[in-house]
Amino acid sequence: MPFIEVADRVWVRRVPSYDVNLTVVGGERGLVVVDTLATAAEARAAIVGIGDLQAGPVVAVVNTHDHFDHVLGNAAFREKYDAALPIHATEAAADATDPAAPPADRTFSSAAVIDLGDRQLELVHPGRGHTAGDLVVRVPDADVLLVGDLVEESAPPALGSDSWPMEWPQTLDLVLGLASPDTVVVPGHGAVVDRRFVEQQCDELRAVAETIRELAGRGVPEAEAYAAADWPFAEDALHHAIPRGYAQLPRARRQLPLI
């Protein structure tokens, strides 16, 4: 599990457990760690690897969202570096994080900046998608976007019980607005991808949302929705997406047609 430098002073460690990514961004004031893995042991192993980079101390942590495989290493980083090490996240993600993690203490609603001296990291909440509190990290001078689980390479997008399938496509549209044709995109899980991959996944998620909207508009019951249409993902990937989508539609769209 070596760190791979995917752009200037941006290193990614892809961990077999959940195939999750931990990213380190370096600047003259130190290092920022984005997502801290699923266990303290995994986080401590990553800390050793960070030391091997010899690129400076960790001065901040960012959680892209609240799920355990991205936050449960927070405490290990505070134990190693500083009990007051700042942890950044959206307000919604911090509120939903397991207290044992510990949760972020530097929160924002729409955007924030981490100043590393010779470069700045832009933290942006583009909207709801994988969770209510997703954020992306933009490293403008390196043309890198760290997108958390708004994008996954090693599996279909995780449309879980706390996802927002009807809003996710619009959220990714905003993410794409932060990307150039050459942007390096680091997903929450799997290999580094490019803008085209994000566009394709956005199209698939848009197909899910539009299909749910169309079926509900025709009065197709939720329980019959999967069999009633062609979908871009297998049924098990839509186990939560269909009921979540139906629930998120305006009430009038969920009623049977009058004619």
85 found inside a domain? yes
Please give the pLDDT value at position 100: 86
Is 36 among the domain residues?
Answer: yes
Evaluate whether residue 230 is within a structural domain. yes
Q: What integer best gives the mean pLDDT of the chain?
A: 96
* pLDDT over threshold 70, residue 259: no
Q: Is residue 259 part of a domain?
A: no
CATH of the domain at 98: 3.60.15.10
Residue 222 lies in a domain: yes
3-state secondary structure of 87: strand
CB 62 within 8 A of CB 32: yes
Neighbours of 255 (CB within 10 A): 12
DSSP letter (8 states) at residue 201: H
Task: Give the torsion sign (CA, 81, 86, 89, 92).
Answer: positive
Which tens digits make up the pLDDT trace of 16-29? 999 999 999 999 99
> What pLDDT does 255 receive?
55
Per-residue pLDDT band for 252 (boundaries 50, 70, 90) equals low
Pairing of strands 111-115, 184-189: unpaired
Whether the model clears a pTM of 0.85, i.e. scores above it, the answer is yes
Does 31 reside within a domain? yes
What total number of domains does the chain contain? 1
Q: What is the token pair recorded at 246?
A: 């139906």
Domain membership of residue 9 (yes or no) is yes
Hunting for tokens 């019980």 — which residue is that?
A: 161
Q: How many CB atoms lie within 10 A of CB 33?
A: 28
Phi, psi of 104 (to 5 degrees): -60, 145
Domain span at residue 46 reads 3-254
